[in-house]
Amino acid sequence: MENGKIKTKAPSASPRRKAPARPKSLYSQDELKEIFRRFSIQRPEPKGELEHVNPFTLVVAVALSAQATDAGVNKATRALFAIADTPEKMLALGEEKVRDYIKTIGLYRNKAKNVIALSQMLVDRFGSEVPRTREELILLPGVGRKTANVVLSMAFGQATMAVDTHIFRIANRLLLAPGKTPDEVEDRLIRIIPDEYLYHAHHWLILHGRYCCKARKPECERCVIADLCRSPEKTCDVPAPLVELPAQLFGPTP
């Protein structure tokens, strides 16, 4: 999701929801700190994998990524964003041409309609600027809570927890923050993740789910938290060596 062109800083305070007590967890606070400490060593500066050049193209990319892979979205949007990186340019392009650019992405017809509609709303209601609050972002066509959280984090440096399929799976499989809905998982994760790790936690969990704790077959032998993991599915208790992974690469490969 991040191509390095948007610089963000973590806020001084975390936007935690007020609650009378923390939810019960199978992990102690010391264990939670150790889990995220290891993730921080493995990936000191985790980034999303959707390519974009500004907050507007980020909103579009995340909206297009629903039920699609980041790689597939990137392949479709490189040419699109090269000529339409503002709401005005997207509107000038028109829905039919937007469809042509993104037709390799699932649900492309409805998504093209939403891209044009959200571009129009940004122009008419927000002065062509992407809003900086969740309440305003979710007013945009095709933008839900998850998309809004991603934009708030990546474009504006806010500590949020966007629960996608990877995080929902990880939270339940590891019994880290089990929940029946993404909102429930988000609420529990926000409450239990140590403050010092909350800003990057969203990307750490996504990347862990995408590349290690995979949906069909978790690669437990490659897991740096295998000894701490409480998942009944795990096949290994010995953690993988804790070393920094190679820097994430973005853009088309040669």
Active site residues: 146, 164
User: Quick one: residue 251, left, alpha or beta (phi over 0 = left, psi -120 to 50 = alpha)?
Assistant: left
Closest CA to 80 of 97, 56, 68: 97
Q: Label residue 12 exposed, middle or buried (CB < 10 Å: 0-12, 13-18, 19+).
A: exposed
Closest CA to 4 of 196, 166, 204, 247: 247
Tokens standing for 27? Answer: 């992990």
Closest CA to 153 of 52, 246, 83: 52
Q: Label residue 49 exposed, middle or buried (CB < 10 Å: 0-12, 13-18, 19+).
A: buried
Q: Alpha-carbon distance 117 to 130, whole Å?
A: 14
Hey, is 148 helix, strand or coil?
A: helix
Q: Alpha-carbon distance 220 to 234, whole Å?
A: 6
* String of DSSP letters for 60-113: HHHHHTTTS-HHHHHHHHHHHHHH--SHHHHHHH-HHHHHHHHTTSTTHHHHHH
Which DSSP category does 175 fall into?
T
